Chain A
Amino acid sequence: MRTRAATSIAIALLIAMAAASLLILAYGQSPGHVYAVLLGHTWGDRYGLGQVLFKSTPLIFTGLAVAVAFQAGLFNIGAEGQLLVGGLAMALVGARCGGLPAPLAIGLCLAAGALAGAALGALPGWLRARFGAHEVINTIMLNFIAQALALWLGRRFFFVEQTVHTPAIADCARLPALGLAGSAASVGFALALLAAIAVHGLMRHTRLGFELRALGQSATAAAAGGVAIGRAIVVAMALSGGLAGLVGAGTVLGYKGYYEEGIASGSGFMGIAVALLGRNRPLWIVPAALLFGTLAHGGLAVNALVPKEIVEVIQAIVILAIAASSSDLQRLAAQGQR
């Protein structure tokens, strides 16, 4: 199984690269040259590396969010909205933390972000558990609702006059930069790594993780095994939302220092890609996020040669190719069990 998974990922990446080469050729550039520039400006210098880590940070969180839900058999398409309310909550708490010791201030901010995201994740979980309403549609709807709600809250109560951002957070709540040639990378990346390890431990080594995985593989068997299904669904979605709510650690606490309309947008949907590429395994999500982070920053670096949008096309093709090559087997296996 493991080699199969690796093969399907390799094939997906090859297909994506072939497609990218075509798009580059169509624009009259040499793929080899573009790839060389892309690599040089990402992993080739300290600033580029820092930007890659910065771009990867939200993706690790959202990838973990999607993966946790998926392991429990649930689809969280709502990371986009959850990271938004999480970021806003972080910024609001951060702005009121002046005078606190840094670890406490940062801890409070992170907790606020996680809680806000968790609340927004728990709601569709509860609707699913209580009414059987499908979480996919509800999380999508909540993305739009969260967007409008955050905008309204910001405009009505929080944004600095004539802007679409909140006041700056206190200095003590800021996450220190990693010091990579003035790049935006911060300790937030380290927090994302910690989160990946924590989620791995949770899923493999705790009773809760075992029960969530059992739920994901067979809800009926989990119920017979004494797992309180409704509660587990809510917990899984809350956990997922909480992880997405931490995205602001990199963007709000580590970089901007405030919440801004449109911050980290897109990383919620990209989290689905990251989770898929990382096969929903917490530790594999880190390299998957780094790859997508590399593409995201690399796209900017080669924008002078070819449209950076090529990167978006590649990312989408990666998802499609993996989805196409992996689920075939899983589905057949699942059908065979009936």
Chain B
Amino acid sequence: MELLGLAFALQVLRISVPYALAAMGGTLSERSGVVNLALEGMLLGGAFSATVGSFYGGAAAGVVAGAFGGLLVAALYAWVVLRFGADQIVAGVAINLLALGATRYLLKLIFDSASSSPSVPGFDGAGWAGLFIALTALCVVAIHGWLMLTPGGLRLRAVGDQPAAAHSLGVDVLAVRWRAVLAAGVLAGLGGAWLALDNHGFVDRMSGGRGYIAIAAMIFGRWQPLTATAACLLFGLADALQLNLQTTTTLLPREWVQMLPYVLTMVALVGVAGRSRPPAALGTPFGR
């Protein structure tokens, strides 16, 4: 019965925040034609820099630092992928490995620990968390509106579908993609900041595959901000159920619940292939 309570709903929201932020970043990036498996690394980079920021300057500084950390990871990814035309899948996986190794190295360098940072100021009380959740929701709506109703959004969609057409009309394809990937970094970095500050510190491998879940949600939501967010909530619900099932029931093995988002995504992908399409130029480098 407690599953239906307010606390449970809040827990679902809390879990969904980093998913939604990363999925928004993924949506922007992929709608512009850039595959973004590097979300995982951006989340991790964001979480770590948020911890460092909060350690030295408090929670607010942590949030800013988190966004900056994600931006930094995104800049490296964008540079390799957009400047050099590196394969986006390979580069994404490499960025994730890099973020993993680099955060561990820095954990030792800065905090002299192999597994976790000391406790840092984080989100205490409902105020902070509520604000962050509200801002996330606002962010989703704003991105949806921007994408569908503004010149910038139109250009981004055009660049992801037919970059040559956009280029022929004087749209700077690479500039649009750069901005999209950097925005993805900021959003995923904020998602990472939430992870770290909600937990009052950084833990090795803290992103724990959430970047991939965000990609799954984005695909499940067919590259649309609103439906992708709905998918994030669904996956957050699955997570919350799993956490609660662990303690309450053995009806459904929790490993099965754990699998749920991934299985759903595969099913969705099979369905998507026939009906809705990913951006046509997804993963294809653009050069003159």
Contacts and interface: CB of A to CB of B under 8 A. Distances in A.
Whether both chains belong to one complex is answered with: yes
20 contacts: A26-B109, A136-B89, A140-B37, A140-B215, A145-B259, A148-B255, A156-B253, A272-B90, A272-B94, A276-B90, A312-B97, A312-B101, A316-B97, A316-B100, A317-B94, A320-B98, A323-B86, A324-B85, A324-B86, A332-B287
A323 B98 contact: no
A137 B108 contact: no
Contacts of A272: 90, 93-94
Interface string A250-266: 00000000000000000
A108 B189 CA distance: 48
Nearest to A66: B90
A266 to B, nearest CB: 9
Interface in A281-318: 307, 309-313, 315-317
Interface of A: prevailing SS: helix
Contact of A307 (B93, B105, B262): B105
Contacts of A152: 253, 255-256
Most buried by B among A138, A148, A155: A148
A144 B263 CA distance: 9
Interface of B: 37, 76, 80, 83-87, 89-91, 93-98, 100-102, 104-105, 108-109, 114, 209, 212, 215-216, 219, 253, 255-256, 258-259, 262-263, 265-266, 269-270, 272-274, 278, 285, 287
B95 A320 contact: yes
A325 interface: yes
A178 interface: no
A313 B85 contact: no
A127 interface: yes
A142 to B, nearest CB: 8
B26 to A, nearest CB: 12
A320 B92 CA distance: 9
A104 to B, nearest CB: 34
A149 B216 CA distance: 18
B98 A313 contact: yes
The 3 closest A-B pairs by CB, nearest first: A312-B101, A316-B98, A152-B255
B273 A131 contact: yes
B263 to A, nearest CB: 6
B259 A323 contact: no
A127 B270 contact: yes
Interface string A323-334: 111011001100
Nearest to B108: A307
Contact of B109 (A77, A127, A307): A307
Contacts of A309: 101-102, 104-105, 108
Interface size class of A (residues with CB under 8 A): 35 or more
A149 B209 contact: no
Contact of B91 (A132, A140, A324): A324
Contacts of A133: 266, 269-270, 272-273
A235 B209 CA distance: 29
Given A152-B255, A319-B97, A320-B80, A327 B87 contact: yes
Nearest to A329: B85
Contacts of A148: 255-256, 258-259
B103 to A, nearest CB: 8
B94 A319 contact: yes
Interface string A112-151: 0000000000000001000111101110111011001101
Contacts of B209: 144
A239 interface: no
A273 interface: yes
Contact of B269 (A77, A138, A315): A138
Nearest to A140: B212
Given A131-B274, A320-B91, A324-B84, A315 B97 contact: yes
A310 B105 contact: yes
Given A133-B270, A152-B256, A324-B86, A144 B262 contact: yes
Given A132-B273, A320-B98, A127 B266 contact: yes
A152 B250 CA distance: 13
Nearest to B77: A320
Contacts of B96: 269
B95 A316 contact: yes
B101 A316 contact: yes
B85 A327 contact: yes
Given A144-B209, A316-B94, A320-B86, 8 more contacts: A134-B273, A140-B212, A149-B255, A272-B94, A307-B105, A317-B94, A320-B98, A328-B85
Nearest to A323: B86
A159 interface: no
B177 to A, nearest CB: 15
Nearest to A154: B255
Contacts of B86: 320, 323-324, 327-328
Contacts of A131: 270, 273-274
Contacts of A317: 94, 98
B98 A325 contact: no
Given A141-B266, A144-B209, A149-B259, A331 B285 contact: yes
A313 B104 CA distance: 9
Most chain B CB within 10 A, of A136, A155, A335, is at A136
A256 to B, nearest CB: 22
B94 to A, nearest CB: 4
